[in-house]
């Protein structure tokens, strides 16, 4: 460590994650990373979300109450995006999170941290913190490619120059000749969301612009052209500090390791131990995306028809309940399905130990919805992907995997929609699995994915690109801190 180490110890940073698993986990990792560099790190969240963080290590957890959800249409105790009972209530939930402003401001005035790292889903934080003279770093939940692509889309609006939704256009100015169709572009990018949601995204953009800078959970070697484009062409102050999940390899994660050991007893990991290297397809669509039963049947049929081994984490309506769904036959193609796939496929009803599955040598491919955390976890494990985006930033992430990095193949999903799921037939699923698991093209993608995994690991070592970027940021914060 360098000479400002003594002062690092007095640097105190608040970390303020959005209220959803996919946001809390990387923010906690980020806090641990700062803490491992000598910074005092405090995660600020609501009691229910704090209880989802069992192993905080050196990171302090401070709770603030989510005031008066009764004043909203949300049910009692709805403090996390996962407990929002239906997609239609998501705008109400986004709006309700603004009620955290007052308790956050109280915590800021009491503790006076030097800086706050806030999720980009809290667009009001930059102004709140400014009242106390505290700089905000926005934690962008996605990568540089998406950040740049979305900015180019809003600057040049190329989707207005095509005559149908299905005509491809190239994203202007963005390196790599990236093609998209209007069907793949998020409604918020085309600015045709309902007014409340649109207001939210606009506020988020403004807050990003007013912030001290952006923290990106990515590494230079993964998307170098876009890191450079972001800084030099778009002129953003952005630091690459990831993959933050690799902080496990830095911090003294004793309690985390203990939990991993108990997780290691998960039957799917024992099952993987008995399989050949790179022979199993892992299928999981993150923590928020679920499919209708008719689509689950297509997935089941497609996986079986591919003839390849698989682990499938199924998000049915009973995802949080590990018991068998009474009407499960409705989402399996027929009654004998599970018997037939015995030894070949494993279905997990509930939460899968995803990182451990991906890191297992028997895992050869990951069918994913292209959530940024899932994608990075796959990259870190050197596992190529079968991509099936649905909404949010997922179509951009897919382009990065398939067109730029060339470590994945798509199932053919084309329709961005938060509410409706486009149907993908079992034949397309079978074809994508075979393409990813058989032949030279698949081998080539697997090799590239493994090379990227080595680079991810190097980026997070002493002197590696991400740790150096983090150190330079800490140095910046120390030199600009006035108290
Ligand atoms: N995840 C998991 N088990 C599951 C489903 C999800 O561990 O059964 C974790 C996954 O490892 C990742 C996160 O949940 O860290 C999902 O985040 P992502 O950004 O991929 O997608 P989101 O859930 O936000 O759509």
pLDDT at position 215 is: 97
59 with 96, same domain: the answer is: yes
pLDDT at position 257 is: 52
346 with 201, same domain: the answer is: no
* Between residues 323 and 298, the one the model is more confident about: 298
Task: Write phi, then psi, for 213 (nearest 5 degrees).
Answer: 165, -175
- pLDDT > 90 fraction of the chain, expressed in percent and rounded: 70
Short-list 134, 139, 177, CA closest to 158? 177
327 with 358, same domain: the answer is: yes
Which atom belonging to ligand 1 lies closest to the Cα atom of 23? Answer: 24
DSSP 405: I
Residue 248 lies in a domain: no
pTM assigned to the model: 0.91
275 with 202, same domain: the answer is: no
Pick from 313, 373, 387, 389 the residue to mutate for probing ligand 1's pocket: most ligand atoms within 8 Å of its CB.
Answer: 373
Whether 394 is in the pocket of ligand 1, judged by its Cβ within 6 Å, is no
Distance of CA 286 to the CA centre of its chain: 9
434 with 464, same domain: the answer is: no
Tokens of 187: 């409604």
Which of 135-139, 153-157, 194-198 shows the lowest per-residue confidence on average (mean pLDDT)? 194-198
Whether 13 is in the pocket of ligand 1, judged by its Cβ within 6 Å, is no
pLDDT at position 73 is: 75
Residue 474's CATH number: 3.40.50.2000
Round to whole Å and give the CA distance between 361 and 381: 9
Is 219:456 a contact under the CB 8 Å cutoff?
Answer: yes
328 with 235, same domain: the answer is: no
Average pLDDT of the segment spanning 83-97: 82
Q: Which domain holds residue 259?
A: 255-457
Residue 174 lies in a domain: yes
Is 184:414 a contact under the CB 8 Å cutoff?
Answer: yes
Q: Tens of pLDDT along 216-227?
A: 999 999 999 999
* Between residues 198 and 425, the one the model is more confident about: 425
Average pLDDT of the segment spanning 4-28: 85
pLDDT at position 21 is: 85
Residue 299 lies in a domain: yes
Tokens of 449: 């994915």
Q: Evaluate if residue 411 carries a pLDDT over 90.
A: yes
Average pLDDT of the segment spanning 245-273: 70
Whether 368 is in the pocket of ligand 1, judged by its Cβ within 6 Å, is no
pLDDT at position 193 is: 73
pLDDT at position 409 is: 98
Q: Evaluate if residue 253 carries a pLDDT over 80.
A: no
Round to whole Å and give the CA distance between 163 and 170: 14
Host H or E run for residue 436? helix 426-437
Host H or E run for residue 468? helix 465-480
Q: Evaluate if residue 318 carries a pLDDT over 90.
A: no
117 with 223, same domain: the answer is: yes
pLDDT at position 480 is: 83
Mean pLDDT of all residues belonging to the chain: 89
Host H or E run for residue 41? strand 40-45
Q: Evaluate if residue 320 carries a pLDDT over 50.
A: no
Q: Evaluate if residue 258 carries a pLDDT over 60.
A: no
Round to whole Å and give the CA distance between 93 and 97: 6
Q: What is the CA radius of gyration of the chain?
A: 22
Residue 232 lies in a domain: yes
Question: Where do runs of H (alpha helix) occur along 350-425?
Answer: 354-359, 372-381, 394-399
Buried b (16+ CB within 10 A) or exposed e, 94-118: bbbbebbeebbbebbeeeebbbbbb
Whether 465 is in the pocket of ligand 1, judged by its Cβ within 6 Å, is no
Question: How many angstroms is it from 350 CA to the middle of ligand 1?
Answer: 12
Question: How many angstroms is it from 392 CA to the middle of ligand 1?
Answer: 14
DSSP 231: I
Question: Where do runs of H (alpha helix) occur along 51-98?
Answer: 90-96
Whether 25 is in the pocket of ligand 1, judged by its Cβ within 6 Å, is yes
Q: Report the alpha-carbon angle 88-94-100, nearest 5.
A: 145
Provide the domain count of the chain.
2
Residue 250 lies in a domain: no
Q: Find the helix packing angle between 293-306 and 426-437, rounded to 10°.
A: 40
Whether 137 is in the pocket of ligand 1, judged by its Cβ within 6 Å, is no
32 with 161, same domain: the answer is: yes
Round to whole Å and give the CA distance between 29 and 22: 12
Smallest CA separation from ligand 1 atom 15, residue:
373
Q: Evaluate if residue 476 carries a pLDDT over 80.
A: yes
Q: Report the alpha-carbon angle 199-122-99, nearest 5.
A: 90
Q: Report the alpha-carbon angle 243-246-247, nearest 5.
A: 110
The residues that are catalytic are 23, 119
Question: How many angstroms is it from 29 CA to the middle of ligand 1?
Answer: 14
Question: How many angstroms is it from 394 CA to the middle of ligand 1?
Answer: 13
Q: Evaluate if residue 246 carries a pLDDT over 60.
A: yes
470 with 445, same domain: the answer is: no
Pick from 22, 80, 346, 368 the residue to mutate for probing ligand 1's pocket: most ligand atoms within 8 Å of its CB.
Answer: 22
pLDDT at position 323 is: 40
Q: Tens of pLDDT along 360-390?
A: 999 999 999 999 999 999 999 999 999 999 9
450 with 467, same domain: the answer is: no
Return the sign of the alpha-carbon dihedral for residues 251, 254, 258, 261.
positive
Smallest CA separation from ligand 1 atom 13, residue:
22
Q: Tens of pLDDT along 439-459?
A: 999 999 999 999 999 999 999
pLDDT at position 190 is: 78
Q: Evaluate if residue 327 carries a pLDDT over 70.
A: no
Q: Evaluate if residue 358 carries a pLDDT over 80.
A: yes
222 with 363, same domain: the answer is: no
Residue 249 lies in a domain: no
Q: How confident is the model at residue 77 (pLDDT cuts 50, 70, 90)?
A: confident
Host H or E run for residue 305? helix 293-306
263 with 233, same domain: the answer is: no
Round to whole Å and give the CA distance between 227 and 28: 23
Residue 145 lies in a domain: yes
Pick from 139, 140, 287 the residue to mutate for probing ligand 1's pocket: most ligand atoms within 8 Å of its CB.
Answer: 287
Whether 332 is in the pocket of ligand 1, judged by its Cβ within 6 Å, is no
Residue 175 lies in a domain: yes
Whether 355 is in the pocket of ligand 1, judged by its Cβ within 6 Å, is yes
Question: Residues near 53 by Cβ (< 8 Å), separated by ≥ 6?
Answer: 24, 28, 43, 45, 61
Round to whole Å and give the CA distance between 187 and 193: 5
């Amino acid at each position: 460590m360098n000479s400002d180490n003594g002062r690092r110890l007095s640097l105190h940073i608040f970390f303020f994650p959005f209220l959803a698993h996919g946001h809390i986990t990387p923010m906690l990792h980020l806090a641990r990373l700062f803490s491992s560099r000598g910074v005092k790190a405090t995660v600020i969240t609501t009691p229910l979300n704090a209880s989802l963080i069992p192993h905080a290590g050196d990171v302090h957890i401070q709770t603030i109450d989510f005031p008066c959800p009764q004043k909203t249409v949300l049910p009692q105790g709805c403090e996390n995006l996962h407990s929002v009972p239906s997609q239609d209530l998501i705008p109400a939930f986004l709006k309700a999170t603004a009620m955290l402003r007052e308790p956050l401001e109280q915590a800021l005035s009491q503790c006076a941290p030097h800086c706050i790292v806030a999720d980009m889903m809290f667009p009001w934080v930059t102004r709140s913190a400014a009242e106390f003279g505290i700089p905000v770093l926005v934690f962008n939940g996605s990568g540089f490619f998406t950040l740049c692509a979305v900015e180019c889309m809003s600057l040049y609006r190329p989707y207005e120059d095509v005559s149908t939704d299905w005509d491809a256009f190239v994203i202007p100015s963005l390196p790599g000749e990236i093609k998209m169709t209007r069907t793949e572009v998020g409604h918020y990018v085309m600015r045709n969301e309902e007014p409340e949601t649109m207001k939210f995204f606009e506020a988020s953009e403004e807050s990003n612009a007013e912030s001290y800078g952006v923290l990106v959970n990515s590494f230079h070697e993964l998307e170098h052209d876009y890191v450079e484009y972001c800084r030099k062409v778009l002129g953003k102050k952005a630091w690459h500090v990831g993959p933050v999940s690799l902080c496990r390899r830095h911090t003294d994660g004793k309690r985390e390791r203990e939990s991993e050991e108990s997780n290691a007893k998960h039957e799917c990991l024992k099952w993987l131990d008995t399989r050949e290297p790179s022979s199993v397809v892992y299928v999981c669509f993150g923590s928020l995306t679920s499919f209708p039963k008719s689509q689950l049947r297509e997935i089941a049929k497609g996986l079986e028809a591919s003839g390849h081994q698989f682990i499938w984490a199924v998000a049915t309506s009973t995802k949080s309940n590990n018991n068998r769904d009474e009407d499960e036959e409705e989402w399996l193609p027929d009654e004998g399905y599970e018997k037939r796939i015995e030894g070949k496929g494993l279905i997990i009803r509930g939460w899968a130990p995803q990182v451990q599955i991906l890191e297992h040598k028997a895992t050869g491919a990951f069918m994913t919805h292209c959530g940024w955390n899932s994608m990075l976890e796959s990259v870190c494990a050197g596992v190529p992907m079968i991509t099936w985006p649905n909404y949010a930033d997922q179509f951009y992430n897919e382009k990065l995997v398939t067109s730029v990095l060339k470590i994945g193949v798509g199932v053919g999903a084309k329709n961005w929609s938060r509410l409706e799921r486009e149907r993908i037939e079992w034949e397309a699923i079978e074809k994508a699995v075979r393409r990813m698991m058989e032949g030279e093209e698949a081998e080539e993608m697997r090799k590239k994915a493994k090379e990227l995994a080595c680079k991810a690991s190097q980026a997070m070592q002493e002197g590696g690109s991400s740790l150096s970027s983090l150190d330079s940021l800490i140095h910046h914060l120390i030199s600009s801190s006035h108290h």
